[in-house]
Amino acid sequence: MFQTINPVDHNILKTYYFLSEKDIRTKLSIAHQAYKKWKNFSLDSKVQCLTKLYFCMQKTIDVLSYSITQEMGKPITQSRLEVKKSINLCKYYCQQKESIFFQKISTEYEKSYVRFESIGAILGIMPWNYPIWQAIRSTIPNLLLGNVLLIKPALNTVECSIILEKIFLESGFPEGVFQILLIDISQIESVIKNTVVQGVTLTGSSFSGSIIGSLSGKYIKKSVLELGGNDAFVVMKDVEDLKKTAKLATESRLNNTGQTCISAKRFIVDKSIVDDFIDLVIQEMKKYHRGDLYNESTKIGYISRSDLSEKLYQQYKDIIFSGGRICLKTNKDGNFFSPSLLKVEKDNSIVKREEIFGPIGIVSVFSKEVDIPDIVNNTNYGLGASIWTKDLEKAEKLSNKIDTGMVFINDVVKSDVRIPFGGVKKSGYGRELSTLSIKEFSNWKTVIIKKS
């Protein structure tokens, strides 16, 4: 048994029960039977189901948004944006053609090509920070390919997933194509071990990734890991508009109350403009006030769980103890943190080693542009980075020296359905989004045809 807790008032929302081992086996059997049918659906038939899905999601935007806000403490405006973004993802994949499942190879044979085929059931282990978006972005490309999904939701955002499962059924997807598994951590290995499951995708911490990666390797199952981030936001002295850049830096850091893997966590700023940048960011941060999460004007929410709130506060104190200077002090009240800004030396070990998952901005400086790659890369993570400068050629050359999965120049790092999303180092491996994601859990079947 477990309960979901409202992060704002700490009231119990609902009580749930973990599946028994017998129930798990039943769901796996249903997934296997569903896969045998679903993989033979034509692309047009799959797209018809997917089209109905996004229409149903449009009708239930308010219900989904309310559930997100209630379970994880996100302002309602941001919850709605999450659902709308998920709908747009569905629309994008509805536009794809059969050609994405083929790649021709020029050889001496009559025909030679690779066909990307489905492999079976995929276990998706989901996070709590974007409970609808993460589930949709893992699921839809795989369904289009012909796989089926078993989703293990985060235990504090279960209702979001249950509502989503109902929407899939209402949209005409066959039973078993998309299922929610309410399982405990101790039950995950038995699911991965089962022959029905052919792949595992996880969005979560690096610690969780190391465990799931090990289990996937143990049972020889393909895995995709989308883990933490410690993204750098590099501001050069020739930046076009420092005030606008500081505003965007603040928005990136505080989006979803700082609980986003690709938020700008480290502001790395030219020494000659750092004081002005700090002043501008503080001005912007002071615009984020505690308020009613269901009020359209509220821009910042709550840390989603009490244990995470305590961890964040300990990190805040540790950074200060290690030499961090307070530019804007946080005020903590339960799971609420007011935005904070700290200035550190570039070699602060906590900032290098740990992901700060909350509304705390970290500023460091550089004096020479040649030092930027070393400063940016001085972390265990490698998800994204952004560079802000007028000199696009210089920035593009600099991007070649940055060890991340994504580099944005003069824009904040964001997830865009058209663009592959993922990282390196302890940020994980594999890619989500774009048509490339469809190939992650596929059988790359080589076909050679020679005249007899």
Give catalytic residues, as residue numbers: 226, 261
Amino acid at 243: K
| Tokens, residue 27 | 């769901």
- Extract the tokens encoding 154: 């985060």
End-to-end, the C-alpha distance of the chain in Å comes to: 64
Query: CA 39, CA 75: separation in Å to the nearest integer?
Result: 39
DSSP summary character for residue 261: T
Tokens of residue 274, six digits = 């750092």
Q: How is residue 219 annotated by DSSP? A: T
The answer for residues whose C-beta is within 8 angstroms of residue 218's C-beta and 6 or more apart is: none
Residue 223, classed as helix, strand or coil, is: strand
Token pair of 94, please? Answer: 């509805």
Contact (Cβ atoms closer than 8 angstroms) between residue 119 and residue 441 = yes
268's enclosing H/E stretch is strand 266-270
Residue type, 320: I
Q: Which residues, including other chains, have CB under 8 Å from residue 81's CB and lie 6 or more apart?
A: none
Contact between residue 297 and residue 285 where contact means Cβ atoms under 8 Å apart: no
What phi and psi values does residue 268 have, to the nearest 5 degrees?
-110, 110
According to DSSP H, which parts of 322-391 are helical? 349-353, 372-376
Rounded (10°) CA dihedral 430, 434, 440, 445: -140
Q: How many helices (H) and strands (E) does the chain have?
A: 14, 22
Residue 57 corresponds to which amino acid? M
Which tokens go with 55? Answer: 């229409």
Distance CA 204, CA 390 (A): 35
